[in-house]
Amino acid sequence: MIVAVVGATGMVGEIMRTVLEERNFPITEFLPVASERSVGKTISFQGKDYTVIGLEDAVKRVPDFALFSAGGQTSLDWAPKFAAVGTTVIDNSSAWRMHPDHKLIVPEINADQLTTDDKIIANPNCSTIQMVMALAPIHKRYGIERVVVSTYQSITGTGVKAVQQLEDEYAGIDGEKAYPHDIHRNALPHCDVFLDNGYTKEEMKLVNETHKILDPSIQVTATAVRIPVVGGHSEAVNLTLSKTPDLDEIRDLLNNTPGVVVVDNLQNNEYPMPLNAEGKDDVFVGRIRKDESQDKGINLWIVADNLRKGAATNTVQIAEYLMRNVEAI
């Protein structure tokens, strides 16, 4: 089993390596792949040192899997080249997510759509993954008509430059900026770039990807906010359902959903927080309550580590599913 991690030296690439190790993914040959400026560097994996190689060399090695986290343009340019030699590409960028010929997969929800013909598979956006993980069982039982979501997103979703900006601001250093404003002691209603409709790309990803993964009939509106947090993304989600909800049943549905953990003990001040989600693969749901303004509405608070289940872990889980269930990958 030859596995390439494309973008191995980046923030998500590092977590992918960690997740592959933790889950004992069966690798006989590991290929760390990165841009030309990183070629020749040494990285550690499973107790061994490996030399980073370039994309062209990686294609020639014909890996079984190429796990991509190297940016959209790299994915557009190179994923088809890997696929052409028979490699299964699982891409963490936005490049292929909404392409009609490529599947957008959260394994717990729709991995059964995958076949041997799927050589480029898209990993959803981090904020979408954690939301649909909680919504899928509710939609199956009650039918979701409308979603109103506000996200409170970790700076790690922007990358190393944003983490450095926050650290500089903590230390009083005037360094390079990832954001147009200070992030320390601030909240920016600005994740990704603004579009002509006044929404950001991040907000529209929540809309479009939810439609593709769950149901195009669900109405979705989103506001995405960047906050000075490292551990993970949080989401306040309001749902309008087709049927009157039973909160006890909804808690049972969520508790019995693989990958979802209910943390909802208000008497003991227990509810999901990014501080507790960091480093974990589960999606945590709490503050489950009726929307007092309408009969068929509920509210949820959803938290997950955006670098793990929101990116690296979901990618590795797709590969695991293919190995277990799809012949001749």
* Active-site choice (102, 139, 191, 233): 233
Q: What does R_g of the chain's alpha carbons equal in angstroms?
A: 20
241 vs 233: CA distance, rounded Å: 24
305 contacts: CB under 8 Å, gap ≥ 6:
231, 232, 274, 277, 278, 279, 280, 281
Indicate the DSSP class of residue 123: P
The verdict on whether 181 is a catalytic residue reads: no
Indicate the DSSP class of residue 200: B
| Nearest partner of 221 among 134, 150, 285, judged by Cα | 150
**For residue 138, what are the CA distances in angstroms to 117, 202, 213?**
31, 23, 14
- In sign, the C-alpha dihedral spanning 120, 124, 125, 130 is negative
252 contacts: CB under 8 Å, gap ≥ 6:
none
How many other C-beta atoms can be found within 10 angstroms of the C-beta atom of residue 65?
Answer: 25
**For residue 257, what are the CA distances in angstroms to 66, 134, 140, 147, 219?**
29, 8, 12, 20, 23
The verdict on whether 211 is a catalytic residue reads: no
* Active-site choice (99, 102, 126, 139): 126
283 contacts: CB under 8 Å, gap ≥ 6:
129, 130, 133, 134, 259, 260, 261, 302, 303, 304, 309
Active site members: 126, 233
